[in-house]
Amino acid sequence: MTRGFKRLHFKPSPFPMRDKGKLVATDERCMCQHPRSKHRDTAAYGHGSCAVCDCQQFSWQAFLIQGESA
């Protein structure tokens, strides 16, 4: 299965996140400005350190919805 890819996630992604059928988020943004999908897993998906910068732990800042840049 693995072909030299850095394995960021071993937990299933909670995204896209829906509430009663309404799209709530396709990702979440950390205080470091990188998405949760770029953070490593801990006990939960994407709650660990950032793969892009030196952020040590995901700190929720905002929901991201695909198609919106901010």
- Write each residue from 11 to 50 as x if it is in contact with Zn ion (CB under 5 A), else as -, in one continuous string: -------------------x-x-x---------------x
DSSP characters for 9-40? --SPP-PSEEETTEEEESEEEETTS-BGGGBP
Among residues 7, 16, 42, 53, the one that binds Zn ion under rule CB under 5 A: 53
Q: Quick one: which of 9, 10, 6 has its CA closest to 35? A: 9
Indicate the residue among 44 and 52 with the shorter CB distance to Zn ion.
52
With binding defined as CB under 5 A, does residue 64 bind Zn ion?
no
